[in-house]
Amino acid sequence: MKRIDKLYIDGCWEDWTGDMIEVHEAATGQVLAAIPAGSREAMEHAIASADKAFAQWSQSSLDQRLDVLRQLLEQLEARGDEIAEAICREVGMPLKLARQIQAGLPAVITKSYLKMLPDFPFTETVGNSEIQYAPVGVVGCVTPWNYPLHQVILKVVPALAAGCTVVLKPSEVAPLSAFLLAEMFAATDLPAGVFNVVSGYGHEVGDVLIHHPKVKMVSFTGSTRTGQTIAHAAADDFKRIALEMGGKSASVVLPDADLKAAVKGTVNNCLLNSGQTCTALTRLLVPADKHDEACELAREAVAKMTPGNPLDENTRLGPLASAVQRERVLDYIRLGIEEGATLVCGGTEAPEGCEEGFFVRATVFADVDPQSRIAQEEIFGPVLCIIPYESEEQAIEIANGTLYGLSGAVWSGDQERAKSVAGRLRTGQVFVNGGAFNPLAPFGGFGHSGIGREFGKWGLEEFLEVRALQL
C-alpha cells in the first residue's frame, strides 16, 4: 500500500499527521493507497498561499507561463506509463485505454494550449478602447474520479495560462494522479503558491474552498447535485463558476443510417470507461421497425467487450471505480427490470471470473419508456437504453426530453440531414456520423449539464475578466 502523508501547499510538501482516506483498487477492492483527509485549516493555508502568489503570477509574462507549461508537458510525457497505471488501478479503465486517454489526453490538452496561447489576443483595440483580458484571481478546482488527471489539466492549464493561481481538491476516490501532478509542478519553474493540492472530503476542505472570500472562481466537474451546492455558495459571494456536470446523451439513428455502424459506435461510446463518462451515449433512439435488429446488433457488440482485470492488455471492459458506484448501477439495473424494460443482456450478477472488485455486466435494455427513470437519470455505468420512435420529430422530442444536454449523436446516410437534426438537439456537442472528438472545440452543456465551456480558447476565456481602457 502506498501511503501519501503530505499535502502540496506553497511550493512545499507539508507533513500530514491527521486522519487518512483509503483508496481502493477497482479490480480487487483491496486498499491501494492512503491519502490525507485534509482539514479546514490546511485548505485555508493553501488558499492564503494562492492569494499571496497571485500578485506575482498575474503579472508574469506569457513567455514565463509558456516555459512552465512546456516543462509540465515534458513531465507528463515522461511519466505517462506511471500515470496510466495509477489511474487504471484506482478507476478501472483498461490499461491500454488508460495510456491513450487517461495519460494521453492531458498531454494533448497541454500541447493545444502551448500552440494556441502565443496567438491569443490578451489585448485588442475596439474604437478608442484597449480591451484587456485579466486573470480572474484564485481559482478553486474541484474534480471528479472518472478522468482524474484529464479533468484537472482541463482546468489547471488554462487557469495558469490566464495568470490565475490554483487550489485543487481532487476526488478522494481517485486522487493519486493529483499528487503525481504536484510532483511534476514541483520539478518546474512554477513559483511557490501558484498551484496547491489539498485532498479530503467535500464537506470539510471542499466547503472551505467554495465559500472562501479569497477564492474568486470555482471550476467544478462532477454531479449535478454537487454543482447546485457550488452554484448556491458562489452566488453568496458573486464568484465566477464553471460547472461541467451530468449527462443522459441520446444517439439518434435516422431511418437511412447504417444501422450496424451506428449501434457499434453507440455501444463503444456508452461502455467507454465502463460507462463512467459524462458524455456517454446511454440512450439509443432507433426507428420502431428497426428496434429488434438494433437490439441484436447491440447484443453482439456488447459480447465483444471482454470484462476482466484492467491491467490485462486484452481486457475491453474494466470494473467501476468503487463499491458505492457499483451498488448505484446495480440498483438502476434492478429498477429497469421493475419498470418493465426488456433485458437484452447483462444483469445484476458479476461477470464470470470477476467476482472480486467492483465489476458490473454490460447491460442493454430494450423497449425502454423514454419517461422511465433509467431513461431520464444518469446511471454512470455500463447500461444502454434502446428506445424506439415513430417519426423524426418524435426522435428529436425524446432526445431533448431530459434535464440534461451535454452530448449526443446523429447517424444518417445523408450528412446534411444529420447536421440538420443535430442542430435541433439541445446539447453542447453532437457527434455526426461518428465524427472524431476535437480537443480544440468548446466542451460543455445545456441545462442541468452545466455552465461554461472547456477546451480551446473557450476554456481559457473562463478564467479571464474583461477590462476596457478608454483612450
Active-site choice (25, 85, 204, 244): 244
Tell me the pairing of strands 6-9 and 12-15: antiparallel
Give the list of residues 6+ apart from residue 370 with CB closer than 8 angstroms, or none: 283, 376, 387, 398, 401
Catalytic residue status for 244: yes
Q: Residue 455, SS3? A: coil
Q: How far apart are CA 35 and CA 25, in angstroms?
A: 14
Paired strand residues for 305: none
Which of 93, 76, 446, 25 lies closest to 277 in space, CA to CA? 93
Between CA 439 and CA 105 the distance in angstroms is: 9
Q: Which DSSP helix (H) or strand (E) runs through 82?
A: helix 80-91
Residue 335: count of CB within 10 angstroms of its CB: 15
Angle between helices 415-422 and 392-399 (to 10 degrees): 40
How far from the centroid of its chain's Cα atoms is residue 85's Cα?
A: 18
The one catalytic residue in 278, 345, 354, 385 is: 278
Alpha helices by DSSP H, listed for 238-345, are 259-271, 291-303, 323-338
Residues designated catalytic: 244, 278
